[in-house]
Homo-oligomer: A and B are copies of this chain.
Amino acid sequence: MYDGIVQELIDELGRLPGVGPKSAQRIAFHILQTPSFDVSRLSHLLSEVRERVKFCDRCGNVSEAELCSICRDTRRDQALICVVEDAKDVSAIERTREFRGLYHVLGGAISPISGVGPDDLRVQQLMTRLADDTVQEVILATNPNLEGEATAAYLSRLLTSMDITITRLASGLPVGGDLEYADEITLGRAFEGRRSA
């Protein structure tokens, strides 16, 4: 609909996750009206990130070096590994400032429907990390949904023979949430996991 290159940009932007044709058009027009300097900054960052950022050899988190900043940080508790599905989860947990151990990013969750099995995840790498007896506790922080639960159950079974404490994040009512609007499963979990007040 637009002169060549503008339409090309709209098409390309529309391939990004969460960007529909309308947003792609809005972004393209925004670009046209943005100072040239800012646009080249974004354009440069895109290729730079793609070139420079890799995944941590040990935990699978995003990293500019062979090991990510968390794996390199010797002050972090080396005896504690939190297993997550995705590098985005690492950032979410880091924001809580509650966790001082290391991470292991699986790169997804077991999902027979999408054809993702344990061999498609970084499970073998986790086993290797656990082999030297440094780690005392593995926290399974996969998502509280079908695939995440299946993955946690699989890992829990796999690790059961090792002398390691396996834990799972608590499920329950979201803080600030409204009991009335909680779905039954969440509410059920909240009862199951109730603590003495």
Q: A residues near B, CB below 8 A?
A: 1-6, 8-9, 12-13, 15-19, 23, 25-32, 34, 36, 38-53, 55, 62-64, 68-69, 86-88, 91, 94-95
Contact = CB atoms under 8 A, between A and B. Distances in A.
B63 A9 contact: no
Contacts of A30: 16-17
Nearest to A37: B50
Contacts of A53: 3, 5-6, 32
Contact of A46 (B42, B64, B69, B88): B42
A3 B68 CA distance: 8
What's the number of copies of this chain in the assembled complex? 2
Most interface-central of A28, A42, A48 (chain B CB within 10 A): A42
A65 to B, nearest CB: 8
Contact of A9 (B2, B36, B40, B45): B45
A63 B7 CA distance: 11
Which of A31, A43, A68 is the most central at the interface, judged by chain B CB atoms within 10 Å of its CB? A43
A26 B18 contact: yes
Given A5-B48, A5-B52, A62-B3, A12 B41 contact: yes
Contacts of A49: 5-6, 9, 28, 31-32
B32 A50 contact: yes
